[in-house]
Amino acid sequence: MNRDLPVADRRQVRRAALRLVRRDVPGFTATLLLNSLAAAAALVSPWLLGRIIDSISAGGTVDLLAAIAVGAAVAQLVLSRYAEKVGTRFSERVQEHIRAELLDRVLALPAATVEHIRTGDLTARGTTDVAVVGRTLRDAAPAILVSSLQALFLIVAVFLVDPVLGGCGLLALAGIVAAARWYLRRARPAYLEEGAARSELAEHLAANAAGARTIEALGLQARRTRAADRVIERSRAAQLRTLFLRSVLWPSVEVSSLLPPVLVLLLGGVLLDRGQVTLGAVVTCVLYLRQLGQPIETILIWLEQLQSSGAAFARIEGLAAPVRAEAAAAAPQGDRIEARGVHFAYEGGDDVVTGVDLTVRPGERLAVVGPSGAGKSTLGRLLAGIDRPRLGTVTVGSAPVAGLSPAQLREHVVLVTQEQHLFLGTVRDNLLLADPAAGDDRLGKALAAVGADWVASLDDELGPQSSGVTLGPDRVQQLALARVILADPHTVILDEATAMLDPRTARSAERSLAAVLEGRTVIAIAHRLHTARDADRVVVMDNGRVVEVGAHDELVAAGGVYEALWRSWHGSRSGDADHDAPGR
């Protein structure tokens, strides 16, 4: 399975940008209008300066012209400052929408996608890429908008003053156009490669940090260091590539921006001697073209930021692809879960589930048992829609489980494992994730159902801040089980769900769950075989295959794989199995 999230193409990015603008048309219009007025005001002073020079040459007065020039300069300052304020607010609103949309898309990603993508890639898109786009909206977008309008107005103004001088000056800008075209053809793939390398580096660092103790225990430091060196080298090479592109662009911009006023001065001197232009016209054109260099330079300086931001926006927008792909999945018609001819293999390995055929009837309590490595947890993930079968189908109500959207999936099937997360916030906050509308009475019943009596001993019961430091793994698991009760799915898959609880608490939680889950389909994957004893049917797996299916008593009497497992487990309990197993 591909572990890389998709990247949006240019057309999708353009559509997304237009969509963002349409969400705040007043803000975008006000930004555009104010910047246009500021750019127009900037044209007044150079034009008046040329008139002042011609007026002085003719022996006229310049008081009124000078006053108008000062007024225009003040107007430009006021308009520019207000335009910056309005533009910044607009960009901040757009950035807020991007972050909210990104979070919605991440939460809407199919379970199969989330389980298999690179964590570093998703993290980089949600942090670094969003920050890059945000800086562009805040800084680059207003600057480029202002500079583009200034450049357009200045070019028109130069031609209006004198077409010959204007054409000569603009001809010298051909070097900037050529350098920009060369840069743009190479920039997007280079920045996409840089983003991918950054994601891979984040993934590698996260994996090393999470597995630090295992790496140290197994003496893998040298191997992991070599792998880190390769990842860092790829990131360095990608950054050097984008640096090379900038090192070609900037000198071209600097040289080309100096040529227009120099050529106008030379040609203007010749035309002035011939009486074909006035001194004021030459000065005005030189000032306009000198002024033109500043917005063009600004545009090209921010061009690098635009390419980086465009690549980042493409990566952010790419999160919509797997969400859209799942949106058309058919809704389940019923609660029956069926697996037909299911084969599954992890990337690069052999099948760990082979030819499984299984029907789980609505309301049934099914236990999946087998020796370690038999494929029990993998089958549970397939039934829960987290993994897709390599061959065969897994359906709920005749709809492919792995094709359901997260919202649809939560309504039908919930998988609870021993690995649970405690979110920052209160106990109430953690429970309301499953049902935001639940009141304290319902929350209290859910906690009581899983034996979380310790909540009553807290200072403010549901209110105190909770974290993995203050709550042990057994209590975190109890909160996870309480969330299942609040989510109220028709099928619950428990994969060693009580493994983090001590035996006494686990037995209490299982009794509570047995009462609360009455009438629902429960699939329990466990090593504690008293769970199998209480089930309606037991599915026995060995080497990735279903080798036995039946009730507990039938399988014990059959003398097969299950009977051996039961005898081994019963013996290891030293005669306590019957005492430990709760009644049905």
Give 71-77 contacts, CB < 8 A, sequence gap 24+.
72/41, 72/44, 72/45, 72/48, 73/41, 73/45, 75/41, 76/38, 76/41, 76/42, 76/44, 76/45
User: How far is residue 477 from each of residues 71, 419, 509, measured CA to CA in Å?
Assistant: 70, 8, 10
Per-residue confidence at 339, pLDDT binned at 50, 70, 90? very high
CA distances from 223 to 219, 226, 330 (A): 9, 5, 46
Q: Are residues 290 and 393 in the same domain?
A: no
Task: Examine the pLDDT at 343 and tell me if it is beyond 90.
Answer: yes
Q: What is the mean pLDDT of residues 89-108?
A: 80
In a domain? residue 266: yes
Among 289, 319, 349, give the residue marking a domain's end: 319
To the question of pTM greater than 0.85 for the whole model, the response is no
Q: Measure the CA–CA gap between 36 and 560, rounded to whole angstroms.
A: 84
pLDDT of residue 340: 92
Q: Is 582 among the domain residues?
A: no
At residue 104 the predicted structure's pLDDT band, cuts being 50, 70 and 90, is confident
Residues 307 and 356 placed together within one structural domain of the fold: no
| Mean of pLDDT values over 143-148 | 74
The count of structural domains within the chain is 2
Of residues 462 and 277, more confidently modeled: 277
The verdict on residue 344 lying in a domain is yes
Q: Which of 268, 293, 319 is the last residue of a domain?
A: 319
| Residue 270 shares a structural domain with residue 156 | yes
Q: Please report whether residue 580 resides in a domain.
A: no
Between CA 206 and CA 228 the distance in angstroms is 11
Mean pLDDT computed over 388-406: 84
Q: Please, what is the average pLDDT of the chain?
A: 78
CATH code, domain with 274? 1.20.1560.10
- Kindly calculate the radius of gyration of the chain based on its CA atoms and give it in whole angstroms: 34
Which of 199-213, 451-465, 481-495 is predicted with the least confidence, judged by mean pLDDT?
451-465
In a domain, 81, yes or no: yes
Q: Which domain CATH number covers 474?
A: 3.40.50.300
Of 9-23, 427-441, 539-553, give the range with the top mean pLDDT. Answer: 539-553
Residue 357: pLDDT band (50, 70, 90) is: very high
- The pLDDT tens digits of the residues spanning 252-274 come to 777 777 777 777 788 888 888 88
Same domain, 445 and 494: yes
- Mean pLDDT, residues 97-105: 81
Give a yes or no: residue 581 inside a domain: no
Say if residue 173 is in the same domain as residue 212: yes
Highest mean pLDDT among 54-58, 92-96, 361-365, 465-469: 361-365
Mean pLDDT within 313-342 = 75
CA angle 370, 533, 570 (to 5 degrees): 70
Among residues 319, 350, 385, the one where a domain terminates is 319
> What per-residue confidence (pLDDT) applies to 507?
65
The pLDDT tens digits for 220-243 are 888 888 888 988 998 899 889 888
pLDDT at 342: 92
Same domain, 448 and 346: yes
Query: In which domain, by residue range, is 106 found?
Result: 10-319
Are residues 134 and 30 located together in one domain of the fold?
A: yes
CA distances from 573 to 405, 525, 527 (A): 43, 19, 13
Q: Are residues 293 and 356 in the same domain?
A: no
pLDDT of residue 581: 38
Domain-embedded: residue 1: no
244 and 161 co-located in one domain = yes
Up-side HSE of residue 33: CA atoms within 13 Å toward CB? Answer: 7
pLDDT band at 583 (very low <50, low <70, confident <90, very high): very low
Local confidence band at 462 (pLDDT 50, 70, 90 cut-offs) = low
- 285 and 424 in a common domain: no
Same domain (yes/no): 33, 105: yes
Kindly state whether residue 5 falls inside one of the protein's structural domains: no
**Both 399 and 307 in a single domain?**
no
